[in-house]
Structure formats: structure tokens, C-alpha cells
Amino acid sequence: MNISEKTIRVGIVGGAGYTGGELLRILLNHPNAEVAFVHSSSNAGNALSDVHTDLFGETDLRFTDTLNDAIDVLFLCVGHGKAAEFLAKNANAEHVKIIDLSQDFRPETDGFVYGLPELQRERIRTAHKIANPGCFATAIQLALLPLAKAGELSEAVHVSAITGSTGAGQSLSETTHFTWRNNNISVYKAFQHQHLTEIRRSLQQLQSGCDAAIHFIPFRGGFTRGILASVHLTSHLASNEAAALFANYYSEHPFVRLSEINPDLKQVVNTNNAILHTEKHGDQLLIVSII
């Protein structure tokens, strides 16, 4: 059966958070997807639209605290550490494919495949278990994968990247309160962000032995959604050579767009698109990546 003719039944665990809500908005409007259940122990019995108010009038589904295997795909939208715990406690039918949105299986443990299409689309197509990449990791990898593929990562990479408040999840903390976040900016986890591990692994997959240092400074921004990463490194590539390298690498990846002018975050917010821009200043190659 052609995939365009098949309805894919989907179950969601942890559907009350930000990732669950965004996933629901995508799936409810997908012509080949049917949401079979949305699991949330704390919201069982409540309408989805009571939690995700923008879904009012879109669905009559309610949260449930039970699971069933009459699905094709199970999405795990629970917090870091909880996905592995859930799978350890709940057996899943062999036919059910699993897509985890946490960081638990990004090292490709327990049969999971790292789910960045621009890195390994063919492996993802046949995978039974997929680990979704991190947000900062996605933006930074998109800026560096073409260079790694060409063996051009030999110098230290410097990254400054800023993220919106939803990247921290729905749980309240001092740095997610509106009164703290609004009109504010701060650095956190400088040079030691957890996404560095998966970034390095992917780069070494494309450029064997790549040991270029990655100096990454993350910022919390006073806006809601999106990430902008500014990446620069010393490079012998001319401006037109770098542009051609990126164009060739992303020629078959339709969600990655290349811009001749500096992009801004509003161009990608609420879309599945990424925009990249390259420019050369002396011996410095700059890549701007927004998702």
C-alpha cells in the first residue's frame, strides 16, 4: 500500500506539555494521521482543548490514563529520563514504532536511531525506534553538517545561540516566569550544554576523527519560540565556495532554506523550516542558522 493511501494510527504519551500540544496540532491536520489516544495521568478525562486551548473546536478527544496497542506509532513526549522509565515499565507490541522526543535515547541506545533527517534520512526511513534530536543541537548541526561532510572542520567552532522560553518546557521555574523572562536575556550552561555530546557525535559520523573544539554559549531570550544560532570558524573557503557547499548538501532537504541575506526568527516560527545564511569576513566563515 502506498503511504499516501494509509491512515497511520498514533498514540501520544505525555500529551499535556508543550511538545505534546505542538505534536497534536500537526497530527490533527495531517491527512494520513489519526490520533487514537493521548495519555496524561494528571489530566485523564479532561478535554484536550481544556489544556491546549488553541485546539478548541478542532477535536473532541479527551486525555486518558490507559494505553492500547491498536496503533502504528507511539510518541513519547515526557520529560528527560522519563521516556526510558516509561518503556521499562510498559511493554509495547512489536509492530508499534516509537518516536521519543526526550534526550534519553539520542546516543542511539536500545535500538534507537538518531532522528535528524539532514544527517541520516535513509536510516530514519527504516527505523523502528527514533530519538528526536535536541533543539540547540538541530540548529547547530544544520550549520556544520555540510562542512563536516566536506572534511572542512579542522579549526575551533564558536557558537552563540539564543532560545525562546518554550524550550525550557512547561514546568515553572524562576527563569520561565513572564516577569523574569520578558525583556530579559541571560547566559546559561556556557561551554557545557548537554547538546554538545550529540553534536560532536554527528560531526564525527560525517568527518571521521573530527576533534575540532566547539565553544558553545547558550542564551535565554525574552521571546516565546524559536532558536537563532550564530556560528563562526576560521576557514580557507571563499564566500562562493561555502555557499555552493551548503547548496549542494541541502539540495534534497526541502525544509532547509538557504538565504543570501541575514534571516530573522519570525521567518521560521510556527513552521517546520530552517533557514541558513553564510558569509565570509576575512578568514572567518559565519553561518547563521534559525529554526
Per-residue model confidence (pLDDT) at position 1: 40
Across 281-291, average pLDDT:
99
**Angle at CA 167, nearest 5°, toward 101 and 16?**
60
Residue 4 pLDDT exceeds 70: no
Domains of the chain: 3-104 (3.40.50.720), 135-290 (3.30.360.10)
pLDDT in tens, 271-280: 999 999 999 9
pLDDT in tens, 165-199: 876 556 667 777 777 778 899 999 999 999 999 99
Per-residue model confidence (pLDDT) at position 91: 87
Rounded to two decimals, the pTM is: 0.92
Q: What is the mean pLDDT of the chain?
A: 94
Cβ atoms within 10 Å of 227's Cβ, excluding its own: 24
* 135 annotated active-site: yes
Supply 172's cell numbers: 515553572
Per-residue model confidence (pLDDT) at position 2: 52
Q: Which of 47, 135, 258, 269 is the catalytic position?
A: 135
Percentage above 70 pLDDT, the chain: 96
Across 116-138, average pLDDT:
98
Per-residue model confidence (pLDDT) at position 271: 93
Q: In angstroms, rounded to a whole number, what is the distance separating the alpha carbons of residues 207 and 152? A: 8
Length of the chain: 291
